[in-house]
Structure 1
Amino acid sequence: MDFINNPSFSHLFSLILLCTTLFPTPQISAVDFPINVWPKPTTFLWPRPQAIALSPNFTISAPPHPYLTAAVRRYLAQILSEHHRPLVTPNLNVTSSPPLAALTITISDGSGPLGHGVNESYSLRIPDGGGGAAVLEAGTAWGAMRGLETFSQLVYGKPSRVACGLYVWDVPLFMHRGIMLDTARNYYGVEDLMRLIGAMSMNKLNVFHWHVTDSHSFPLVVPSEPEMAEKGAYGEDMKYTAADVKRVVEFGLEHGVRVVPEIDMPAHTGSWAKAYPEIVTCADVFWWPAEAGWDDRFAAEPGSGQLNPLNPKTYQVVQNIVHDVVSMFPDQFFHAGADEVTPNCWKIDPQIHSFLSKNGTLSQILSLFINSTLPYILSLNRTVVYWEDVLLDATVSVSPSLLPKQHVILQTWNNGPANTKRIVAAGYRAIVSSSDFYYLDCGHGDFVGNNSEYDQPPSANQTDGGSWCGPFKSWQLIYNYDITYGLTAAEAELVIGGEVALWSEQADSTVVDQRIWPRASAMAETLWSGNRDGAGRKRFAEAVDRLNEWRYRMVARGIRAEPIQPLWCVKNPGMCNTLH
Structure 2
Amino acid sequence: MGAAIGIPLTFLLILAFFITLSPQISAVSYPINVWPKPTAFSWPHPQITLLSPNFKIHFPLNPYLHQAANRYRKQFIEEHYNPLVVPHLNLTSSPPLKSLTITVTDDSAPLTHGVNESYTLTIPSPEQSTTATLTAETVWGAMRGLETLSQLIFGNPSRVACDLYIHDEPLFHHRGVMLDTSRNFYGVSDLQRLIRALSMNKLNVFHWHITDSQSFPLVLPSEPELAGKGAYGEEMKYSPEDVKRVVEFGMRYGVRVVPEIDMPAHTGSWALAYPDIVTCANMMWWPAGVDWTDHLAAEPGTGQLNPLSPNAYKVAKNVIHDVVSMFPDSYYHGGADEIAPNCWITDPEIQAFVAKNGTLSRLLEIFVDSTLRYIISLNRTVVYWEDVLLDASVNVSPSLLPPENVIFQTWNNGPSNTKKLTEAGYRVIVSSADYYYLDCGHGGWVGNDTRYDQPPGTDIGDGGSWCAPFKTWQTIYNYDITYGLNESAANLVLGGEVALWSEQADSTVLDSRIWPRASAMAEALWSGNRDATGRKRYAEATDRLNEWRNRMVTRGIAAEPIQPLWCIRNPGMCNTVHPFLAS
The normalised TM-score by structure 1 is: 0.94
Amino acid at match of 1:64: L
The answer for the alignment partner of 2:3 in structure 1 is none
Cross-structure match for 1:41: 38
Cα shift readout 1:444-497 (whole Å, capped 9, x = no counterpart): 001100001112137987332221000000000000000000111111000000
- Determine the structure 1 residue equivalent to 2:17: none
Structure 2 residue 346 is matched with structure 1 residue 348: yes
Residue 264 of structure 1 is matched in structure 2 by 262
Identify if the C-alpha distance between structure 1 residues 295 and 103 changes in structure 2 by more than 3 Å, giving closer, same or farther. Answer: same
Structure 2 counterpart of 1:455, one-letter code: D
Question: How big is each residue's C-alpha offset from its partner over 1:240-292, in whole Å with a ceiling of 9 and x where there is no partner?
Answer: 01110010001000100000000000000000001100000000001011111
Where do 1:443-522 residues align within 5 Å? 443-457=441-455, 462-522=460-520
1:103 is aligned to 2:111 = no
Secondary structure at 1:463 match in 2: coil
Residue type at the aligned position of 2:228: E
2:392 aligned with 1:413: no
> Would you say the 8 A contact 1:127–1:165 is kept in 2?
yes
- The answer as to whether partners of 2:25 and 2:41 remain within 8 angstroms in 1 is no
The answer to whether the aligner puts 1:252 opposite 2:250 as a matched pair is yes
Task: Tell me by how many angstroms 1:58 deviates.
Answer: 2.3
> In the alignment, is the contact (CA less than 8 A) between 2:65 and 2:139 conserved in 1?
yes
| Residue 87 (str. 1) matches residue 84 (str. 2) | yes
Partner of 2:359: 361
Structure 2 unaligned spans of 5+: 1-19, 579-583
Q: Where does 1:58-207 land on structure 2 (aligned, <5 Å)?
A: 58-129=55-126, 132-207=130-205
Aligned counterparts, 1:237-386, within 5 A: 237-386=235-384
CA contact (8 A) 2:104 2:138 kept: yes
Distance 2:72 2:93 in 1: 26
| CA deviation after TM superposition for structure 1 residue 338, in Å | 0.2
Structure 1 residue 24, shift from structure 2 partner: 9.9
DSSP 3-state at the match of 1:462 = coil
Contact 1:56 1:80 in 2 (8 A): no
Query: Does the 8 Å contact 2:25/2:40 carry over to 1?
Result: no
Alignment-derived partner of residue 7 in structure 2? none
Which residue matches 2:6? none
Q: Which stretch shows the higher mean deviation, 540-549 or 155-164?
A: 155-164
Paired amino acid for 1:90: P
TM-superposed deviation, 1:162:
2.1
Once the two structures are superposed, residues 165-223 of structure 1 have per-residue CA deviations (whole angstroms, 9 ceiling, x without a partner) of 11000110000000000000000000000000000000000000000000000000000
SS of the counterpart of 1:353? helix
Q: Distance in 2 between matches of 1:111 and 1:25?
A: 32
Q: CA-atom RMSD, angstroms? A: 1.5
Change (3 A) 1:458 1:111: farther
Q: Which moved more, 1:344-353 or 1:159-168?
A: 159-168
Whichever residue aligns with residue 265 of structure 1, its letter is M
SS at match of 1:41: coil
Q: Letter of the aligned partner of 2:386 in structure 1?
A: E
Q: Could you say if the C-alpha distance between residues 297 and 25 of structure 1 is closer, same or farther in structure 2, counting changes exceeding 3 Å?
A: closer
Query: For residues 407 and 429 of structure 2, what CA distance do their matches in structure 1 show?
Result: 7
Which residue pairs with 1:28 in the alignment?
28
Q: Deviations over 1:37-65 (max 9, x none)?
A: 10000101111222221223322221011
Q: Is the 8 A contact 2:263 2:336 kept in 1?
A: yes
3-state secondary structure, aligned to 2:460: helix
CA distance in 1, matches of 2:487, 2:565: 42
Q: Check conservation: 2:28, 2:43, Cα contact below 8 A.
A: no
Q: 1:227 aligns with which of 225, 229, 253?
A: 225
CA contact (8 A) 2:122 2:165 kept: yes
Q: Which segment drifts farther, 138-147 or 121-130? A: 121-130
Q: How far did 1:35 drift? A: 2.5
In structure 2, how many angstroms separate the alpha carbons of the residues matched to 1:109 and 1:445?
49
Number of aligned residue pairs: give it.
Answer: 556
Given the superposition, is the C-alpha separation of residues 219 and 576 from structure 1 closer, same or farther in structure 2, using an over 3 Å criterion?
Answer: same
Structure 1 unaligned runs (5+)?
A: 1-19
Question: How far apart, in 1, do the equivalents of 2:46 and 2:484 lie?
Answer: 39
The DSSP-based 3-state class of the residue aligned with 1:93 is: coil
Q: Secondary structure at the match of 1:204?
A: coil
Distance 2:185 2:307 in 1: 28
Amino acid in the other structure paired with 1:341: I
Whether the 8 Å contact between 2:365 and 2:396 is mirrored in structure 1 is yes
User: Residues 35 and 153 of structure 1 are in contact (CA less than 8 Å); yes or no, is this contact kept in structure 2?
Assistant: no
CA contact (8 A) 1:387 1:411 kept: yes
What amino acid maps onto 1:65 in structure 2?
N
**2:27–2:41 contact (8 Å) kept in structure 1:** no
Q: Whole-Å Cα distance in 2 between the matches of residues 458 and 423 of structure 1? A: 45
CA 113–458 in structure 1, closer or farther in 2 if over 3 Å, else same: farther
Paired with 1:461 and 1:315, the residues of 2 have a C-alpha distance of: 48
Equivalent runs, 1:520-539 vs 2, <5 Å: 520-539=518-537
Q: Paired residue for 2:420, among 402, 419, 422?
A: 422
The alpha-carbon deviation at position 126 of structure 1 amounts to 1.1
Match of 1:388 among 380, 386, 389: 386
**Contact 1:177–1:206 (Cα < 8 Å) also in 2:** yes
Partner of 1:571: 569
Residue 26 of structure 1, CA deviation: 6.9
Worse-superposed segment, 41-50 or 455-464: 455-464
Q: Does the CA contact (< 8 Å) of 2:181 and 2:210 recur in 1?
A: yes
SS in 2 for 1:298: coil
